[in-house]
Structure 1
Amino acid sequence: MDSISTSTLFSILGVLILISAYFSGSETGMMSLNRYRLRHLEKQKHKGAKRVSKLLDKPDRLIGLILIGNNLVNVFASLVSGVIFARYFGDAGIFYAGLILTLVILIFAEVTPKTLAALYPEKVAFPSSIILSLLLKLLFPFVVAVNWITNGFLAILGISSEQREQHSLSTEELKTVVNESSALLPERDQNMLVGILDLENVTVEDIMIPRSELVGIDINEDWKKIQKQLTQSNHTRVLLYRDTIDDVVGYIHMRDALRLLSKNQFTKATLLRAVRELYFIPEGTPLNVQLLKFQHAKERLGLVVDEYGDIQGLVTLEDILEEIVGDFTTTMTPTPSEEVHQQPDGSYLVDGSATIRDINKEMSWDLPTDGPKTLNGLIIEYLEDIPQAKLSVRIAGYPVEIVDVSDNMIKTVRIMPEHILRQSHEE
C-alpha cells in the first residue's frame, strides 16, 4: 500500500465505511419488518416484498451473507486506517487508528444506519433486497460453506437450524395489536374486535340472566291473568312453565300470540299448541362456542343447566352480540350504570346482584372473577356466611361495606376505589 496516496486511502476508507453502513442497515431493516404486513404486500404482488420474503425464507443464509460482507469491509477498513495513521504517527498510529475507527464505525456504520432502518424498515429493506439477492447468487458457495460450518456447531449444542420460532400471535398478543392501532381503527371498532377475541374467555354463566331474575308465565294460572301478562310483557319471547320455573314447558313468540289473537283463536289450548321447544345449554360453555351452536341450531335463546339438569339462567343471542358490539338500546337487563351509584365522598353504592365482570369493565376495577359471578356471591363466599349489615371487609384490596341485607341476600354494598382511598391517606 506504500504506492497508494493518502488521499486515495481516505477515499477507500470512506467507501468501506459506507458499505459497512449498508450491511448494518440492511440487517436491521430486514429483521424489523412487520411479517404480517409483508405477507399482505406479497399477496398484493409487491415486487420488493416478494424479494424480501424469499430472502427471509432462509434467514441463516441471509444473516450469513450480511455478516460476511459486514465483517469483510470492517476488516479491510481497519487495515486501511492502520496504514493511514501509521504514516502520520508511526507505530503508535495503529493504536490511534483502532480507537478512532471504532468510534467512526460505531456512529456512522452501526448506530445511525440501524436506527434509520428500525424507523423505516420497508424503505431500507425493499431496495437493499435487490443488492442482497445479487450478492447471494455471487457468493452462494461461500455463504453455504459458512452456514454448513455454523449449523455443525449448532448441532453439537443440540440446536437444529430447522427449529424456528413461529410468528403466530396468541389471543392476548392480538388484543395488544388491536389496542395499539388507535391511529388506524376508531375506538368503537377496537372494542368490537377485542370483544370478539374475548368470547373464548367468557362462559354463558358470565352473561346469563340468573334463575332468580327469570320472568315467565305460569300456564296453570287463570286465563285472564295469562292474557294480561302476555299483553304487558316487555319481551318478544316469553317463557311458559307449570307452577315453578323448574317445570318449564317452552316459550311463546309474541308474533304467534298476535296471530292467534287476530284470528280470534287466542285460547289456552291454542297457546299451548304454539309453544316452541326450548334449547338447553350446558354450564361452562364458552361464548364463541355457543355463538356457533346458536347459528347451527337456528336458535336465539337457551336455558343454561348444570350437571344435574337444574336451570341456572337464560342466555340469548343478543346477550352474546352485546359482548361484541356493546349494549343494545332494547336490552331489559340493568346496566352497570344503573347498579353503581357514585356518592359525594367518592365511594360507590353497588347493588349486590350486580355482575362482577360488568362492574370491572365499566369501572376499571379488578374484583376477582374466577369464582361467583355476582357481588353478593363474592362477599358470601369470602365470609363463608350470610353477613349482617354494617360489616366491612377488604376484598382484592377494595374496602367493602355491607349496607343492606335482606331475604338472605346482600342488597347493597359501599365500595371505596383504591385511588380514592390512597388520596384520603395522603391528605
Structure 2
Amino acid sequence: MSEDKPPSSQTTNKTWLERIGQMFQGEVQSQEELVEFIQDAGDRALIDSYTQDMIHGVLNVSRKRVRDIMIPRSQMVVLENNNTIAKTIEVITQSSHSRFPVISEDKDNVEGMLLAKDIIPLTLDGDIENQVITNIIRPCVIVPESKKVDVLLREFRAKRYHMAVVVDEYGGVSGLVTIEDILEEIVGEIEDESAIDETITEDIKKVGKQVYSIAALTTLEDFNQYFDTKFDESEVDTIGGLITKEFGHLPSSGEEIQLMEYQFKVIKADSRRLVQLQVKVPTTESQT
C-alpha cells in the first residue's frame, strides 16, 4: 500500500471536525455554501444529526442580537432591594432560579444582582424575618440589546459571569439574558435541576400555608382528588391544559388567573407548553 494514501481505517477514525475541515479547504465562499456542505455531510453520514444541529445553532447565534434571545422585561423575576431574607427565600423557591436582578423603585432601576447561594450564610442566625438583602447585592453587568450574541458569549466566558441585564437605546431595561439562553440556541433546551426533580418527586408540593407548587402535567383527576375540587375533566386532561384553555392563549411566566376560589400563577412556561404552576387555595383549605 502506498505511503501517500493512508489506510481507510485511519480515514474513518478521523473526527467529524477534521472531515469538515477537509471539505471546506478552499471551497466555501459564503455562509450559504457552508450550510449546504453541512447538510451534505449529514446526508452522507459524515456527521450525526445532533452535531449537524449544533453547527446550525452556532451559525444562527452568529447572526442574532441579544434582543432576539433575551427574557423580556415582563417575564423577569426580580427582587426588591429591601426584601427580607424570608421573602427572598420564597421567591427563590417558587422560581427555581439561581440569579436575580435586584431593583429599587421599578425594573428600570436595577441596583445589582443576587446569587441564591449568598442567602445561605444569612439563614444561619435565624433572623430571616428582619434581615434584608442589601448587603449581599453584587454588581450587575449591563449590555445593549443590539449586542451580537456571539460577542456576548465570548465576554461571558472571558469575564466569568452568567447573566446580564439588557437595556434599549434609551437606557430603559428591556430584559435579561443568561449564558444558558445562548447555549440553548446552540444545543437546544437545557433542563435544569428543578425540571429533573419534577419527574422524580410528587407533582403537588406544599410550599406555604395556602400555597402549592403544581407540575402543569398533573392530571385534572389527581388535582380534583387532592384538593377536593370539581374542575371539568371532559375537555382537557391536565391542570396546565385547563389554565391554558381559560386564558385563551399560552400564558407566560408571571401571568395569573382565578378559577373558582383558586388563584393560579404561571411559574414556568416555554414556547410550547406550561411547565410549573403555583396555586393559592382558599383559606378554608386544610390540605397538607
Q: What is the TM-score with the length of structure 1 in the denominator?
A: 0.38
SS of alignment partner, residue 180 of structure 1: helix
Select which of 261, 284, 289 maps to 2:123. Answer: 261
Does the alignment pair 1:175 with 2:35? yes
Q: What is the TM-score with the length of structure 2 in the denominator?
A: 0.54
- Letter of the structure 2 residue corresponding to residue 167 of structure 1: E
Does the alignment pair 1:215 with 2:172? no
Larger Rg: 1
Distance in 2 separating the partners of 1:205 and 1:331: 26
Contact 2:108 2:173 in 1 (8 A): yes
Contact 2:85 2:131 in 1 (8 A): no
List, as ranges, runs of 4+ consecutive aligned residues in structure 1 with deviation greater than 3 Å.
Answer: 166-169, 220-227, 230-233, 262-270, 349-354
Contact 2:143 2:166 in 1 (8 A): yes
Q: How far did 1:200 drift? A: 1.1
SS of alignment partner, residue 239 of structure 1: strand
Partner residue of 2:208? none
Contact 1:200 1:287 in 2 (8 A): yes
Select which of 177, 184, 188 maps to 1:315. Answer: 177
Q: 1:270 to 1:46 in 2, by over 3 A?
A: farther
Distance in 1 separating the partners of 2:160 and 2:153: 10
Q: How far did 1:254 drift? A: 1.1
Distance in 2 separating the partners of 1:313 and 1:332: 23
Q: 1:282 to 1:46 in 2, by over 3 A?
A: farther
Distance in 1 separating the partners of 2:120 and 2:126: 10
Contact 2:61 2:149 in 1 (8 A): yes
Partner residue of 1:271? 133
SS of alignment partner, residue 212 of structure 1: helix
Contact 1:203 1:286 in 2 (8 A): yes
Q: How far did 1:167 drift? A: 3.4
Contact 2:84 2:132 in 1 (8 A): no
Select which of 145, 163, 166 maps to 1:304. Answer: 166
Does the alignment pair 1:198 with 2:155? no
Partner residue of 1:47? 4
SS of alignment partner, residue 232 of structure 1: helix
Partner residue of 1:15? none
Contact 2:83 2:133 in 1 (8 A): no
**Larger RCO (CA under 8 A, 6+ residues apart):** 2
Unaligned runs of 5+ in 1: 1-44, 50-165, 334-340, 342-348, 355-427
Distance in 2 separating the partners of 1:226 and 1:212: 19
Unaligned runs of 5+ in 2: 7-25, 196-240, 242-247, 254-288
Count of residues paired in the alignment: 180
Structure that is richer in helix per residue: 1
Partner residue of 1:326? 188
Partner residue of 1:287? 149
Partner residue of 1:20? none
Contact 1:257 1:266 in 2 (8 A): no
Of the structure 1 ranges 259-268 and 192-201, higher mean CA displacement relative to structure 2 is found in: 259-268
Partner residue of 1:36? none
Partner residue of 2:101? 239
Distance in 1 separating the partners of 2:36 and 2:5: 28
Q: How far did 1:184 drift? A: 1.7
1:23-422 correspondence to structure 2 within 5 Å = 47=4, 167-182=27-42, 183-221=45-83, 224-262=86-124, 264=126, 271-330=133-192, 351=250
